[in-house]
Amino acid sequence: MKRVLIIGATSAIATACARLWAAKGGEFFLVARNAEKLEQTAEDLKGRGAKNVHLYQMDATDIAAHPAMLQQCMSALGQIDIALIAHGTLPDQKACEHNVEIALAEFANNGTSVIALLTLLANQFEIQRCGTLAVISSVAGDRGRPSNYLYGTAKAAVSTFCEGLRARLFKVGVHVITIKPGFVDTPMTKGLPLPALLLAKPEQVAERIVKGIESKANTSYTPGFWALIMLIIRCIPTVIFKRLNL
């Protein structure tokens, strides 16, 4: 039985992961902004076999609220076996280009708040000397593309932070996995002109995340073919890359 903390627990990918853990009798501490959706998620997980579900309403960008959340989580669970950070937004790149406040707010949501949570959680995991920190980054962080470079910059920061954190926590028996989804069919991507052949369901992504955690993978591209796609994209020379509309 796993004791699982999920931040951004009402997102499609997080919910799909939680359902897999619930089927094995997991105990949960779920964190999200929307109290109604949290309640709905809790009832769903209980119906799927979750041992217990604790709820905590919090905006992840409110960094001052993080310590109280973690304290409540530790009181409820006693120990965290898996922490999944799954919150984030998909910004309007054009809006970010023309409005500094929007750009910084989106970077805070997708980058700064994640790093703040990881810093706090890392210290707790270091005390435990066990457990897994799983962080949803994105393939967008592998290279800056004109269509979403604000989002990609935030995700690149998260991925690099995770790489250093992984090396630090490995020495005390704690694992850090960076999850890099490609295009996923979620409410966040609804309406976007995404290629159907590359569009994954949240359930597919969740299965790979859970398997990656179990196998102690360092980085998990999901679906797996994105590892090859991004390898090709990273290898495109800058002189050519800057002329592409990606």
Range of the domain at 209: 3-241
Q: Is residue 138 part of a domain?
A: yes
221 is catalytic: no
Q: What are the structure tokens assigned to 214, written together?
A: 């179990």
Q: Is residue 218 part of a domain?
A: yes
Residue 140 CA, chain-centre distance (Å), reads 13
Residues counted in the chain: 246
Which tens digit of pLDDT belongs to each residue from 34-69? Answer: 999 999 999 999 999 999 999 999 999 999 999 999
Q: Is residue 170 part of a domain?
A: yes
Q: Specify the number of domains making up the chain.
A: 1
Which tens digit of pLDDT belongs to each residue from 57-110? Answer: 999 999 999 999 999 999 999 999 999 999 999 999 999 999 999 999 999 999
Q: Is residue 14 part of a domain?
A: yes
Give pTM, 2 decimals.
0.94
* Phi, psi (degrees; rounded to nearest 5) at 138: -170, 155
Q: What CATH number should be reported for the domain holding residue 63?
A: 3.40.50.720
Residue 80: predicted pLDDT = 98
Q: Is residue 173 part of a domain?
A: yes
Which among 56, 149, 151, 221 is annotated as catalytic? Answer: 151
Q: Is residue 226 part of a domain?
A: yes
Q: Is residue 246 part of a domain?
A: no
Q: Is residue 47 part of a domain?
A: yes
DSSP code of residue 83: E
